């Protein structure tokens, strides 16, 4: 049996593969950049281990995660997993998960557009170029967190039509003080901001809302993808809920940049399953 994990800040998808049999489950996110080994171990103990009927049958664990971008941070994940499964453990970034899931063993530009955003150029084996995402405060253009941040900023500063502003407060039940509390005093403000994206989706036909989304997508292409110097008409591949649910707007912005949207996956797990089973 091998275990594949795809972990973001919001959730972690797990797949237990044993021959042709696959069992999948979802737990809360495991991000070693924000969480301690004890907190990650708690998730494994209470949410993953009960699904593994025979821990001794596990041969390898492949963990792809947001925040897994340096050897020291990755070692935290290795130690945590090894305390439950003392087997071969490979920890890679969520960006490598996107590249392997979207491109397999072919070269291409792979992007993440979910709670956070990221991108890279990939040669079929390794990431060859990468513009750092820098998180939702300094970067993460086009991500759910940034879209939520832009939405909140435009609502409280009266930059959207009054009908949209009123709908926001009515549909979310939020107030300015509640927003400040969730962003500045409670943990995981990026998750809170990303949780506001369904409002944008529900009101995407409103021109001001569509423009807010498309401006953030444009910033993603200009500040990230342009650095890879793609040729005119090149395909750019995406994984993540934002890319999946806003395909029309993403395609329109890509076309304006002289590019095309290639493969879009809501989750990289299907592509990762194919990648790892093909290795055997």
Please name which of 245, 1, 233 lies closest in space to residue 115, comparing C-alpha atoms. Answer: 245
Average pLDDT, the chain: 92
Whether 80 shows a pLDDT value over 70: the answer reads yes
pLDDT classification of 279: cutoffs 50, 70, 90: low
Confidence band (pLDDT; 50, 70, 90) for 112?
very high
Q: Cβ contacts of residue 275 below 8 Å, gap of 6+? A: 100, 101, 104
Query: pLDDT category, 9, cuts 50, 70, 90?
Result: low
pLDDT (tens digit, 9 = 90+) per residue, 170-214?
999 999 999 999 999 998 899 899 999 999 999 999 999 999 999
- Indicate the pLDDT class of residue 69, thresholds 50, 70 and 90: confident
The answer to whether residue 254 scores a pLDDT higher than 70 is: yes
pLDDT of residue 11: 82
**Non-local CB neighbours of 240 within 8 Å, separated by 6+ positions:** 111, 112, 113, 114, 117, 266
Taking residue 167's Cβ as centre, other Cβ atoms within 10 Å add up to: 17
SS (H, E, C) the chain: CEEEEEECCCEEEEEEEECCEEEEEEEECCCCCCCCHHHHHHHHHHHHHHHCCCHHHCCEEEEEECCCCCHHHHHHHHHHHHCCCCCEEEEEEHHHHHHHHHHCCCCEEEEEECCCEEEEEECCCCEEECCCCCHHHHCCCCCHHHHHHHHHHHHHCCCCCHHHHHHHHHHHCCCHHHHHHHHHCCCCHHHHHHCCHHHHHHCCCCHHHHHHHHHHHHHHHHHCHHHHCCCCCCEEEEECHHHHHCHHHHHHHHHHCCCEEEEEECCCHHHHHHHHHHHC
Tell me the mean pLDDT in the region 109-115: 94
Are the CB atoms for 100 and 271 separated by under 8 Å? yes
CB of 67 within 8 A of CB of 77?
Answer: no
Residue 74 and residue 32 in contact, taking contact as beta carbons nearer than 8 Å = yes
Question: What is the mean predicted confidence (pLDDT) over 2-19?
Answer: 86
Torsion region of 270: left, alpha or beta (phi above 0 gives left; psi -120 to 50 gives alpha): alpha
């Amino acid at each position: 049996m091998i275990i594949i994990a795809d972990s973001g800040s919001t959730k972690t998808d797990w797949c237990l593969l044993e021959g042709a049999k696959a069992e999948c489950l979802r737990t809360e996110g495991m991000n070693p950049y924000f969480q301690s080994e004890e907190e990650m171990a708690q998730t494994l103990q209470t949410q993953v281990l009960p699904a593994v009927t025979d821990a001794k049958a596990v041969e390898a664990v492949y963990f792809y995660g947001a925040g897994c971008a340096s050897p020291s941070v990755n070692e935290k994940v290795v130690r945590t997993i090894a305390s439950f499964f003392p087997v071969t453990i490979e920890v890679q970034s969520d960006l490598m998960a996107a590249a392997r899931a979207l491109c397999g063993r072919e070269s291409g530009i792979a992007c993440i557009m979910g709670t956070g955003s990221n991108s890279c150029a990939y040669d079929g084996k390794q990431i060859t170029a990468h513009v750092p995402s820098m998180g939702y405060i300094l970067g993460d253009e086009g991500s759910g967190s940034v879209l939520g941040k832009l939405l909140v900023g435009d609502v409280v500063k009266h930059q959207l039509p009054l009908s949209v502003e009123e709908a926001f407060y009515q549909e979310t039940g939020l107030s300015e003080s509640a927003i400040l509390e969730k962003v500045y005093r409670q943990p995981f403000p990026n998750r809170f901001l990303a949780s506001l994206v369904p409002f944008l989706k529900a009101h995407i036909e409103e021109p001001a809302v569509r423009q807010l989304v498309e401006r953030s997508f444009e910033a993603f292409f200009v500040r990230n993808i342009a650095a890879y110097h793609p040729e005119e008409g090149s395909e750019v591949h995406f994984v993540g809920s934002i890319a999946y649910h806003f395909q029309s707007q993403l395609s329109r912005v890509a076309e304006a940049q002289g590019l095309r949207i290639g493969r879009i996956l809501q989750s990289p797990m299907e592509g990762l399953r194919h990648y790892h089973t093909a290795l055997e």
